[in-house]
Amino acid sequence: MSLRGVGVSPGIGHGPAYVLTVSVPEPPEGMTYTGEAEPEKDRATRALAQVAGELEARGNQAGGEAREILKAQALMAEDPGVVVKVRSLIDHGLAAPRAVYEAFTKYRDVLSGAGGYLGERAADLNDIRDRAVALLTGQPMPGLPGDPPEPYVLVARDLAPADTALLSKEHVAAFVTEEGGPTSHTAIMARGMGVPAVVACAGATHLAPGVHVLVDGSTGEVRPEPSDSDVSQAYDAAVAGRDAVGAVRGPGRTADGHPVPLLANVGGPADLDAALARGAEGVGLYRTEFLFLDKGQAPTQQEQESAYRAALEAFPNGKVVVRTLDAGADKPLAFLPPSATEPNPALGERGLRLFRRYPAIMDAQLAALAAAAAGAAVSGAAASGAGAELLVMAPMVATPEEADWFARACHSHGLTRVGVMIEVPSAALRAGDLAGAVDFLSIGTNDLAQYAFAADRQLGAVSALHDPWQPALLDLIAATLDGAAGTPTGICGEAAADPAMACVLVGMGAATLSMSPAALPGVRAALAAHTLEQCGIAARHARSQATAARARGAARAQLPGLGKLGL
């Protein structure tokens, strides 16, 4: 019967399950056996011979130095002295697992006492002991396989980055873990490696070691002992899905034609080609601070103007949303230091707050933007009869007064389309008041999660709180979209890059979605596969759940087109 978890890295993987155990538990002290001593002794001897054989085979496969090391380890597994000790402990009534455990522990202590090279081999004895005990008690083998003959499906309760650091796509066909979420290390690392992964898959570590499994990193299905036709069908469907995603072109829209402009997040002119290649309809977030992170002094107006103009000219008929400098916290700019040492920089003078202290820097940026728009309009009109639409927005806005102050500053430079980002819970809760001061809003889900969950976005230890499916984050997004109804509100945080979440955001009323260019095709295809009504239903189901994993599962269950697209 299939197991089901949360698919966090799309694609199909297939191979023998390798169930990783952190350690093999010690067999209970005084553990006895029923029946005759002789078969129990044979059982122990056979297990040790199997361990030796596997170690030697692996050494032969790896070759080189590993061959010698593993050969020595194999010899230790069948060391006559230890085998005699095991058999004598069984004669005294101990069951085979306990006898192996005690004999090898004793042998290990003797070696450790010897020190030097022999002492260093003590750890090898633990490994042999654990392997033999695992065999005798029917438990999975400890540690990662050395150099497997075929790619395997790595199954574990959870995986630490250290477990997987040396793994590669050639060795691992898929990851399956019982714990973890969409932003867990396993998920992030698997996506980075391009290996399918399923997390939060209850019962996965009870899969029989070596059993073949078929893993679908999109739907979260883990199927033991699939037939050949199951496997080929799954691969064919994945290829078809990839082709289907690639075949969806044109502007973003739902299956019933509701338009959702799909925009790109860029950090400078170098990102514009990728955005155009993936069919971006404009720029939804131009992170202007990226242009100046390595500069010791304020950029000149001229430098800024040409960087902004490049984006406007790349999208002569589209819109370009430029965010004013979001300096401070994780993106400090040398020429814009905060007024004092900040114990909590993410809560300090960052984003718009710094402009309050440096009005001349703000004026220079707004003037450069106005000049870029004027220049691009002239060249755009000459080239195509149209010009890109420039929109300007401020980061880290917390109150309507700040929004109003920023809008006035923009207007004084002739910039007419002004917005603010919703990244702070206070702004989300009073989005209607902020919307009154500006023309549009853009929700930054990355910082909104950071501030809603009091979880530093740079800290791996709290990354689970940055799962965009967290129901509280969904509620804050919904509060913004509902509160600002009538004012166009888009999403430009990482959340928009998840095809299922993109549908949910549109279902909640997001007007535009902006993301890194690589995510555009998947999101475009996901929207095209579902109606606006389906998106709305998916959003309601997600918000009715209490946990991130359940919210994601509930939404996906309402979005049947995702599986067909392999998303």
| Residues taking part in catalysis | 185, 492
328 bridge partner residues: 331
Q: CA geometry: angle at 175 spanning 169 and 180, to 5°?
A: 135
Pick between residue 47 and residue 329 the one whose CB is nearest to ligand PEP. 329
The verdict on 40 binding Mg ion (CB under 5 A) reads: no
Nearest to 501 by CA among 532, 455, 538, 472: 538
Residue 387 vs 444, nearer CB to Mg ion: 444
Number of other residues whose CB lies within 10 A of the CB of residue 38: 11
| SS3 label, residue 470 | coil
Stretch that binds ligand PEP, among 128-136, 143-151, 441-449, 554-562 (CB under 6 A): 441-449
- Cβ proximity to ligand PEP: between 96 and 548 the closer is 548
Among ligand PEP, Mg ion, none, what does residue 285 contact (CB within 5–8 Å per kind)? ligand PEP
Asked if residue 531 binds ligand PEP (CB under 6 A), the reply is no
Tell me which long-range contacts 375-382 makes (C-beta under 8 A, separation of at least 24). 375/305, 375/309, 376/309, 376/312, 376/313, 376/316, 379/313, 380/312, 380/313, 380/316
Nearer to Mg ion (CB atom), residue 159 or residue 421: 421
Question: Closest CB to ligand PEP among 54 and 281?
Answer: 281
DSSP strand pairing (152-156 vs 172-177): parallel
Letters for 260-289 (x = contact with ligand PEP by CB under 6 A, - = none) are -------------------------x-x--
Interface pattern 355-394 for ligand PEP (x via CB under 6 A): ----------------------------------------
* CB 516 within 8 Å of CB 508: no
Q: Total residues contacting ligand PEP (rule CB under 6 A)?
A: 10
Task: Single out the residue of 423, 456, 467, 498 in contact with ligand PEP (rule: CB under 6 A).
Answer: 423
- Asked if residues 198 and 224 have their Cβ atoms less than 8 Å apart, the reply is no
Return the residue nearest Mg ion (CB atom).
447
Return the range that interacts with ligand PEP (CB under 6 A); candidates 300-308, 431-439, 442-450, 459-467: 442-450
Residue among 127, 125, 160, 119 at smallest CA distance from 146: 127
Residues 284-343 that bind ligand PEP (CB under 6 A): 285, 287, 326
Position 338, amino acid = P
Question: Which CB, 254 or 516, lies closer to ligand PEP?
Answer: 516
531 binds, among Mg ion, ligand PEP, none (CB under 5 to 8 A by kind): none
- Spatial separation of the C-alpha atoms in residues 67 and 82, rounded to whole Å: 23
Alpha carbons 210 and 29: distance in angstroms, whole number? 30
- Does position 446 bind ligand PEP by CB under 6 A? yes
Residue 354 is a binding residue for ligand PEP (CB under 6 A): no
| Separation of CA 528 from chain center | 24
Q: Among residues 266 and 373, whose Cβ is nearest to ligand PEP?
A: 266
Interacting residues with Mg ion between 415 and 434 (CB under 5 A): 423
437-466: contacts with Mg ion (CB under 5 A) = 444, 447
Position 507 contacts ligand PEP (CB under 6 A): no
If one asks whether residue 445 binds ligand PEP (CB under 6 A), the answer comes out as yes
Work out the angle at residue 241's Cα, subtended by the Cα atoms of residues 238 and 242, and round it to the nearest 5 degrees.
90
Contacts of 88 (CB under 8 A, 6+ apart): none
User: Tokens for 196?
Assistant: 């399918």
Which of 209, 299, 380, 493 touches ligand PEP by CB under 6 A? 493
User: 493 touches which of ligand PEP, Mg ion, none (CB within 5 to 8 A by kind)?
Assistant: ligand PEP
Question: Which of ligand PEP, Mg ion, none has residue 221 at its interface (CB below 5 to 8 Å by kind)?
Answer: none
Nearer to ligand PEP by C-beta: 20 or 275? 275
Q: How far from 348 is each of 328, 351, 362, CA to CA, in Å?
A: 8, 9, 18
Q: Of 8, 233, 47, which is closest to residue 141 (Cα–Cα)?
A: 47
Rule CB under 6 A: choose which of 427, 492, 503, 551 binds ligand PEP: 492
Dihedral angle of Cα 268, 287, 471, 222, to the nearest 10 degrees: 20
**Cα 539 from Cα 552, distance rounded (Å):** 10
- How many Å apart are CA 477 and CA 321, to the nearest integer? 20
Token pair for residue 55?
A: 């170690």
Least spacing, CB of residue 423 vs ligand PEP, in Å: 5
Place of tokens 């919307």: 435
Cα 239 → chain centroid:
22
Residue 245 contact, options ligand PEP, Mg ion, none, Cβ 5-8 Å cut-off depending on partner type: none
Interface residue with ligand PEP, options 447, 456, 467, 498 (CB under 6 A): 447
Please state, in angstroms and rounded to a whole number, the distance separating the CA atoms of residues 189 and 460.
13
**Smaller CB distance to Mg ion: residue 318 or 444?**
444
CB of 180 to ligand PEP, least distance (A): 23
Give the residues lining the site for ligand PEP (CB under 6 A): 285, 287, 326, 423, 444-447, 492-493
Residues lying near Mg ion in the complex (CB under 5 A) are found at: 423, 444, 447
